[in-house]
Amino acid sequence: MTQTEGKKRLLDTKMVPAPSQGIIPERDLLSTPVLEARHLGIEFGGLKAVEDFNLIIGKTEIAGLIGPNGAGKTTVFNLLTKVYQPTMGTVLLNGKDTAGMNTVQANKLGIARTFQNIRLFDNMTVEDNVRIGLHNQVKYGMFTGILRLPGYWKGERRQHEKALELLSIFDMQDLAGVRAGSLPYGAQRRLEIVRALATNPSLLLLDEPAAGMNPHETEELMHNIIKIRDQFKIAVMLIEHDMNLVMGICEGICVLNYGRIIAKGTADEIQANPTVIEAYLGKKKEG
């Protein structure tokens, strides 16, 4: 089978201990996975919020992370983006160990995220929010900016063009001059995605992207997530409670409960898994 062959090859070339079972789509098998988490865990004063988290995400995979409230999903995102330093295990991003890195370095290595409770730069315009995302993509120095050297004009023009191009994914280019804080809720969520995309990530983490959206908006979002993956050739991992969205677009799904992975697999496998059903609905009464 191709799957085992591909895994073997990966092991041979990198000489690393056996990765745990991932759910990588076939097209990604031969390339280094974009994300590899091994035995990842964190303790908050003795309380294990996440433990033994193993996951592999392929280069252009759309992965879902689901689980009941308080299962530790956002904590996993915080561990991957180095908002928290893991107390156990390792995270490899594009094959590089992220041990000791901070959020900024993790972002530069190719991981970008959105937040569950929207964190936009409220007092800045929509375009400027995207330009912040482009911060490390289109660069010029402080003095170039103060002295308005040619590099400033060139850089500003590049940022402006790129920002509008990115905004056009969600048809938001007309909102470029609007204050981000005054956007409606759904638009704020979309702007967060655009801003994260602007950092040129290879893995995009979306924390409840459809929260607060109506079914029509969610439908559109699903198309757009696939469009983003196809256009930018990146991997997407999302936390979501809307099962239509998760089952509709995620190629691999990982279920978390009490900080531990209780199931991994495709949408069909997850839906049929008794442990998952139990975690969501509770145990059937005996008798």
Distance from C-alpha of 61 to C-alpha of 222, rounded to nearest angstrom: 14
Residue 213 half-sphere exposure, CB side, CA atoms within 13 Å? 22
- Is 146 a binding residue for other proteins by CB under 8 A? The answer is yes
Exactly one of 21, 99, 145, 154 binds other proteins (CB under 8 A); which one? Answer: 145
248 contact partners, CB below 8 Å, separation of at least 6: 222
Q: Which is nearer to other proteins, 24 or 238 (CB)?
A: 238
30 residue type, one letter? L
Exactly one of 20, 54, 140, 267 binds other proteins (CB under 8 A); which one? Answer: 140
Exactly one of 60, 81, 202, 257 binds other proteins (CB under 8 A); which one? Answer: 81
Nearest to 192 by CA among 248, 110, 122, 137: 122
Q: Which is nearer to other proteins, 60 or 159 (CB)?
A: 159
* Residue 132 host element (H or E): helix 126-133
Q: Which of residues 194-233 bind other proteins (CB under 8 A)?
A: 195-196, 198-199
Mask: binding to other proteins, 86-105, rule CB under 8 A, as x and -? ----------------xxx-
CB of 271 to other proteins, least distance (A): 31
Which of 34-42, 62-70, 143-151, 245-253 is the region at the interface with other proteins (rule: CB under 8 A)?
143-151
- Is 152 a binding residue for other proteins by CB under 8 A? The answer is yes
- Is 149 a binding residue for other proteins by CB under 8 A? The answer is no
Q: Which is nearer to other proteins, 204 or 261 (CB)?
A: 204
- Is 14 a binding residue for other proteins by CB under 8 A? The answer is no
Distance from C-alpha of 274 to C-alpha of 280, rounded to nearest angstrom: 10
164 contact partners, CB below 8 Å, separation of at least 6: 127, 173, 176
Residue owning tokens 């915080």: 78
CB of 109 to other proteins, least distance (A): 10
Distance from C-alpha of 122 to C-alpha of 82, rounded to nearest angstrom: 24
How many residues sit in the footprint of other proteins (CB under 8 A)? 51
